[in-house]
Structure 1
Amino acid sequence: MGAWVDSLEASLLVSLRLAPALAFAQPFSLIRIPVTVRILIAIGLALWLVDARPALTADRLAGHGFIGLMAGELAIGISIALALQLAFGAILWAGGVLDFQAGYGLATLADPTTREEMPLAGTVLVYGAAALFFTTGGQYDLLALWVASIETMPVGYGLLTPDMAALGSYIGTVFILAIGLVGAAMLAIFLADIVIAFLSRTLPQMNVLLLGFQVKAMLLLVTLPLAIALAGALFLRILRLAITAPTNWWSVG
Structure 2
Amino acid sequence: MLDMIDINSFPVFLLILVRVAAFFVTLPLFSYRTVPAHFKIGISFFLAYIIFYTVDAPPLSMDGSFLLLIMKEAAIGLLIGLLAYIIISAVQIAGGFIDFQMGFAIANVMDPQTGAQSPLTGQYFNIIALLFLLSVDGHHLLIDGMVNSFQFVPVTSFIPIGSESIVGFVIDAFNQMFLIAFQISIPIVGCLFLVDVALGIVARTVPQLNVFVVGLPLKIGVSFIVLIFFMGLYIVLVKNLFGYMFNVMRGLMQLFGGLN
Q: TM-score, normalised by structure 2?
A: 0.86
Specify whether residues 60 and 144 from structure 1 end up closer, same or farther in structure 2 by C-alpha distance, changes over 3 A only. farther
Secondary structure of the corresponding residue to residue 231 of structure 1: helix
The code of the aligned residue for 2:168 comes to A
CA distance 1:201–1:138, change in 2 (3 Å): same
Rounded Cα–Cα distance in structure 2 between residues aligned with 1:177 and 1:196: 29
Alpha-carbon offset, residue 31 of structure 1: 6.5
Instruction: Return 5+ residue gaps in structure 2 as ranges.
Output: none
Show CA shifts across 1:140-178 (max 9, x none): 222222222112221111134251111111112222122
Q: 121-130 or 161-170, which moves further after superposition?
A: 161-170
Q: Is residue 95–residue 123 contact of structure 1 (8 Å, CA) maintained in 2?
A: yes
Is 2:214 the counterpart of 1:211? yes
Given that residues 21 and 84 in structure 1 are in contact (C-alpha distance below 8 angstroms), is that contact kept between their aligned partners in structure 2? no
Identity score, percent: 24
- Equivalent residue number for residue 97 of structure 1: 97
The whole-number CA distance in structure 2 between the counterparts of 1:50 and 1:207 is 69
Task: State the Cα deviation string for residues 66-105 of structure 1 (Å, max 9, x = none).
Answer: 2111111112112221222111222111111110111111
Q: Could you say if the C-alpha distance between residues 95 and 109 of structure 1 is closer, same or farther in structure 2, counting changes exceeding 3 Å?
A: same
Q: 2:193 aligns with which of 190, 193, 199?
A: 190
For the residues of structure 1 that align with 2:147 and 2:25, how far apart are their CA atoms?
18
Figure out how many residues of one structure are paired with residues of the other and give that number: 250
Root mean square deviation, CA, Å: 2.3
CA contact (8 A) 1:6 1:61 kept: yes
Deviation of 1:63 (Å):
7.9
Shift of 1:208: 1.1
Residues 23 and 146, structure 2, Cα contact 8 Å, conserved in 1: no
Letter in 2 for 1:142: L
Counterpart Cα distance in 2 of 1:240 and 1:31: 25
Describe the shift of the 1:141–1:112 C-alpha distance in structure 2 as closer, same or farther (beyond 3 A).
Answer: closer
Cα deviation digits, residues 191-221 of structure 1 (max 9, x gap): 1111111111112222211211101111222
In the alignment, the residues of structure 2 paired with residue 247 and residue 133 of structure 1 have an alpha-carbon distance, to the nearest angstrom, of 18
Shift of 1:54: 4.1
Question: Which residue does 2:86 correspond to in 1?
Answer: 86
Q: Name whichever of 28-37 and 148-157 sits farther off.
A: 28-37
C-alpha deviation, 1:30, in angstroms: 4.2
Question: Unpaired segments of 5 or more residues in structure 1?
Answer: none
Change (3 A) 1:47 1:2: closer
